[in-house]
Amino acid sequence: MKIFLTEQVKKADAYTIENEPISSINLMERAAKKCFEYIISNYSNFVFHIFVGPGNNGGDGLALARMLAEENKTVNVYILKISNNYSDDFSANLKRLNVQNKATIREIKDLYKFPEFAKSDIIIDAIFGSGLTRPVKDFAATVVQKINESGNHIISIDIPSGLFGENNSENIKDNIIKANKVLTFQFPKLAFLLPDNSKYIGSFEVLDIGIHRDYINKTSTKYFFTQIEDIKLKKRDKFSFKNNFGHALLFAGSYGKTGAAILASKACMRTGVGLLTTYIPQTNYEIIQTTVPEAMCVTFNDTILTFSTPDLSQFNAIGIGPGIGKERISLAVLTDIIQKANKKNAMIIDADGLNLLAENKYLLKELPENSIITPHIGEFKRLVKDFKNDTEKLERLKTFAEKYKLIVILKGAYTTVATPDGRLYFNSTGNPGMATAGSGDVLTGIILSLLAQKYNPLQAAVFGAFIHGLAGDLASEKFGEESLIASDIIDLLPITLKKINKI
């Protein structure tokens, strides 16, 4: 799914109105109907308090109020008198609501008569939309703060009032609605996907309001939101054999960190690789052979700097990093593999491999183009200069990927894949339970497997992040977030892949 910036969304609405064609008020009606359907399905037996501003976001709220009232819901509408200039569609919907005469409507001019709510009541925020360009201040800011202090469940229409669609680094954070649920239209807003804004968006639902497909298809963007329909896995031929699904080399593990090698190896096998050779210190040999009998093993003596890297020409993909530590021997093996790799060897580097790169940055320039690295936020900060906020973080992420011609997977909520040409793919799967030891090793194994199966590096990164997150979501459903461990993600990979293949 494409993510459009605020100006592009405005143009998308205008294009739809002109080319469907449809009037602006009927497009508003369509958007309100989608919100109504969602709310009736999920919040049917509640009293609703709808706060509206003077623009088209307020018009959405008024249309929604009419639909809820028509269903005999108790609806109270509060019009913020912050301007005497109403948008045309706001005025038209206010007239319709008055004619219907089923909702209670009042204006709020001051806070001496600010409404009180029962704890079970739902507040719907339709004060300001995504077109907001200035921080909320004065009377409107006080209303926002009062709503936040109410303790009631808050649903925002399109975007929490006060939040900008993209960069909020200069915004006034206390004057933004803290929504439990956001019902947004057609595309997620970039701001929804950034950790700095997490307290304003408990969760969001993207509602398809029928924006013209021609505009969506022909309009370019650098931002994408990966969903299950975007994951296109290859079908297996009846007469295929293991060599058709690639041979992967995994350099992983060290004394006390054999588990990382086991997790990455198992995840690689479970994701469908044909052959896996795990390259490990001699001390790990018996453990790996016992726990992952499907994998072949090549060992080296980790007590001396004499070693012989396997012939890389036999491998379709190379994974480096889980549990290798930062000893001299690990740096020596890492360096040797990087320098001997060629275009045939797709590569992914994680964990201690990234820590070694951060301490030896000259190696970054020697990585094959489109190699994949998978830092979490701490590892990423060691690779780049620190940043002040999420907007600056995204710029650093894009710049780093472009400079070194790498694909960078920045792990976390809405894991972000950055490409050398400046695109960013935000992942829709995953949950906080995946913040557990070994989860990143599993991701490395998944992506290594996809690379070996000849998915291109961008596909391997985007698909791998999605598969990893979806397996984590299924594991969370089964075990709960607190009890989720990395092995659970591997155990749910078969069901995950079956679910994707059904789409």
Confidence at residue 44, expressed as pLDDT on a 0 to 100 scale? 82
| Angle, in degrees to the nearest 10, between helices 493-501 and 258-270 | 30
Q: What is the DSSP letter of 376?
A: -
Q: How deeply is 492 buried, as exposed, middle or buried, from its count of CB atoms within 10 A (0-12, 13-18, 19+)? A: buried
Cis upstream peptide for 54 (omega within 30°): no
For residue 357, the SS3 value is: helix
Domain 2-220: which CATH class? alpha beta
Sign of the C-alpha dihedral computed for residues 298, 302, 306 and 312 taken in this order: positive
**pLDDT tier for residue 360 given thresholds of 50, 70 and 90:** very high
**pLDDT tier for residue 343 given thresholds of 50, 70 and 90:** confident
Q: What is the DSSP letter of 189?
A: -
Residue 482 CB: number of other CB atoms within 10 A? Answer: 9
For residue 231, the SS3 value is: coil
Q: What is the DSSP letter of 368?
A: P
- Rounded Cα–Cα distance for residues 329 and 479 (Å): 39
Question: What are the CA-CA distances from residue 388 to residues 248, 382, 424 (Å)?
Answer: 39, 15, 19
Q: Any idea what the Cα angle at residue 323 is, between residues 318 and 326, rounded to 5°?
A: 95
- Residues 6 or more apart whose CB falls under 8 angstroms from that of 339 comprise 366
**pLDDT tier for residue 305 given thresholds of 50, 70 and 90:** confident
Q: What is the pTM of this model?
A: 0.97
The token pair that represents 104 in the structure block: 């209670």
Which among 183, 177, 355, 345 has a CA at the least distance from the CA of 254?
355
For residue 154, the SS3 value is: strand
Lowest mean pLDDT among 302-306, 326-330, 367-371: 302-306
Q: How deeply is 285 buried, as exposed, middle or buried, from its count of CB atoms within 10 A (0-12, 13-18, 19+)? A: middle
- Length of the chain in terms of residues written: 503
**Do the strands 2-3 and 223-226 form a parallel or antiparallel pair, or are they unpaired?**
antiparallel
Q: Would you kindly state where each structural domain of the chain is located, as residue ranges?
A: 2-220, 230-501
pLDDT digit string (tens) for 128-139?
A: 999 999 999 999
**pLDDT tier for residue 306 given thresholds of 50, 70 and 90:** confident
Mean pLDDT of 252-257: 96
Superfamily of domain 230-501: Ribokinase (3.40.1190.20)
Mean pLDDT of 42-71: 97
Q: Is pLDDT above 80 for 112?
A: no
Which residues pair with residue 236 across a beta bridge? none
Which among 419, 252, 247 has a CA at the least distance from the CA of 349?
252
